[in-house]
Chain A
Amino acid sequence: MQGFAEEFRVAMGLIVSGDPELWAIVLLSLKVSLLAVLIAACIGMPIGAALAVGRFPGRRLVIVLLNALMGLPPVVVGLLVYLMLSRSGPLGVLQLLYTPTAMIIAQVLLVTPIIAALTRQTVETLDIEYTEQLRSLGVSRLASVPVLLWDGRLALLTALLAGFGRAIAEVGAVIVVGGNINHVTRVMTTTIALETSKGNLALALALGAILVGIAFVVTALVSMIGISREREVLHHA
């Protein structure tokens, strides 16, 4: 038990003293996941909005597929990206395997369905409420998309945070395509996995504490946004 307490003390020391190795890992994690969410938003939001507003054959099937993709096992996504990027794979010439770019690609694949599905839900719900009013004001279907996205901004922010939460906490995909190379592709989750197996609990604990802190902040933001949206609805009722 004393050993654990000691590890914990060292872990807190690493955080407080601003240990360069620890913070480099945290920064790389944030960089990879934030970029992945940004790219996923650029892809997922237009897809979600198009599915919400557009009407075409097979639309319902695409929505079901999209919802199913939200539950993709990260390690499988990692495997797929690995196969694409490996030297003999179709994108092998790009030599992206075991780089932060490969990790970003994997996380984009994980996060895009989440953002697209939540955007679709948000925009469609809002569209049902707004559709007659916007038509009455002479707003075309296409022109109504930015209106719906802007008015759904709180829910869409929640979708982005949900995507970020998924990306930053995921280990299966990034360890397969990133390879957990020191100072290159080592992020919080993969470092925790490695250091724990090596018995270096202090670094793992320190990173774990930071990861939990980030998860707390994200969850708190999501619920704060949720409360303010509920308040809006209550006021309106």
Chain B
Amino acid sequence: MRDWDGAEMLTQPRMAVENLRIGRNGSTLLDVPYLALGGPGPTLILGPNGAGKSLLLRCMHGLIQPDGGTVWQDGALLGEDHRARQAMVFQTPVLLRRSVAANLDFVLRRQGVRWGSRKARIAALLDEGGLAGKERQAARSLSGGEAQRLAILRALACNPEILFLDEPTSALDPAATQAVEALILRASARGTRIVMVTHDVGQARRLGHDIVLMQAGRVAEHSQAADFFAAPRTAAGRAYLSGALVI
């Protein structure tokens, strides 16, 4: 898996990181020699607090410059043109202090979509996220679940090839979580590559095609979801699923 040989180039991973390192004050926050993400379904990143999950996500999205190492997308070094084909949804949705529709319009306008098409696209997106009829409402007056769905819709409005999600449902109740998951699964079915951090093992079971388990800044295990939940290959995987892995 370490090798970046010709055979692997043919089945090129969408995202890969090599020798990624971030340290602070002598301690290692992130140390990933190699990780390739390229399966057909969502990748779920699991791990205890402080395992480096969010850092890894931010590195792959180019929000954080690692101390060392490289991030690849489609076989090329991550650059601004790749960034434009990615989107990210944060744990706490950051909505502009504008109407629901204006939050989506902001992104569409930046992409140069003309007003007539923007209107139709906004209506379609709101319909998709179950927010139809709320277009004129102040985005920041939405409920937590609605706000996160709007944040996801805004990310999807960028037509991303890869969508990163950082614990998007950690503050939501089960019904709101279900609505967000449905939205993510539909995006995945349409071909958007999903890379999502979660603490929720049940959610990882429901959504994950493959599981990346992180521990203390390192990738402890990267397995197909079915294999991981049936029989984790590593001690860390077994400990995490049994609830024993806390740091």
Interface residues of A (CB under 8 A from B): 129-130, 132-133, 135-139, 147, 151-154, 232-233, 235-236
Instruction: For A137, give the chain B residue with the smallest CB separation.
Output: B107
CB of B241 closer than 8 Å to a CB of A: no
Q: A138-B83, A232-B140 are in contact. Are A151 and B98 (CB under 8 A)?
A: yes
What are 9 of the A-B contact pairs (CB < 8 Å)?
A: A129-B94, A133-B94, A136-B88, A137-B107, A147-B96, A147-B106, A233-B140, A235-B142, A236-B147
Partner of B63, one of A130, A135, A233: A135
Q: Is the CB of A235 within 8 A of B84?
A: no
The answer to whether B90 touches A132 (Cβ under 8 A) is: yes
In the A-B complex, the 6 residue pairs with the smallest Cβ-Cβ separation, listed nearest first, are: A133-B94, A235-B141, A151-B97, A136-B88, A236-B140, A232-B140
In the assembly, what is the distance between CA of A137 and CA of B138, in Å? Answer: 20
Q: Does residue B158 face the partner (Cβ distance < 8 Å to A)?
A: yes
Instruction: Quote the shortest CB–CB distance from A185 to chain B (angstroms).
Output: 41
CA of A136 to CA of B158 in the docked complex: distance in angstroms? 11
Q: Could you tell me if A136 and B63 are in contact, using CB atoms closer than 8 angstroms?
A: yes
B198-238 at interface with A (beta carbon < 8 Å): none
Q: Which of chain B's residues have a CB closer than 8 A to the CB of A235?
A: 138, 140-142
Interface residues on B, range: 20 to 34
B94 adjacent to A132 (CB under 8 Å): yes
The residue on A at minimum CB distance from B142 is: A235
How far does the alpha carbon of A9 sit from the alpha carbon of B107 in the complex, in Å? Answer: 61
Question: Chain A residues near B106 (CB, 8 Å)?
Answer: 137, 147
Let me know if B126 is at the binding interface, CB within 8 A: no
Alpha-carbon distance A63/B188, docked complex (angstroms): 47
User: Which chain B residue lies CB-closest to A236?
Assistant: B140
Q: A interface, by DSSP: helix, strand, loop or mixed?
A: helix
Q: Is the CB of A137 within 8 A of B141?
A: no
Which residues from chain B contact A236 at a C-beta distance below 8 Å? 140-141, 147
Give Cα A139–Cα B98 distance, bound, in whole angstroms: 17
Q: Given A235-B141, A236-B140, is A138 in contact with B110 using a C-beta cutoff of 8 Å?
A: yes
Which chain B positions have C-beta within 8 A of A154? Answer: 97
> For the complex, is B193 an interface residue (Cβ under 8 Å from A)?
no
CB proximity to A under 8 Å, residues B54-112? 58, 61, 63, 80, 83-84, 87-88, 90, 94, 96-98, 106-107, 110
**Contact indicator A130/B141 (Cβ below 8 Å):** no
Chain A residue nearest to B88 (CB atoms) is A136
CA distance A180 to B94 in the complex (A): 52
Q: A132-B63, A232-B140 are in contact. Are A137 and B110 (CB under 8 A)?
A: yes
The answer on a CB contact under 8 Å between A133 and B140 is: no
* Alpha-carbon distance A189/B97, docked complex (angstroms): 39
Interchain CB contact under 8 A, A136 and B61: yes
- The verdict on A232 contacting B138 (CB below 8 Å), with A129-B94, A137-B158, A147-B96 known, is yes
State how many angstroms separate the Cβ of A140 from the closest Cβ of chain B. 10
Point out the residues of chain A lying under 8 angstroms from B140, CB to CB.
Answer: 232-233, 235-236
Q: A132-B94, A137-B106 are in contact. List 7 more A-B contacts (CB 8 A).
A: A151-B98, A154-B97, A232-B140, A232-B141, A235-B138, A235-B142, A236-B147
| Complex: A81 Cα to B90 Cα, angstroms | 51
* Residues on the B chain within 8 Å of A129, using CB: 94
Contact in complex: A130, B110 (CB < 8 Å): no
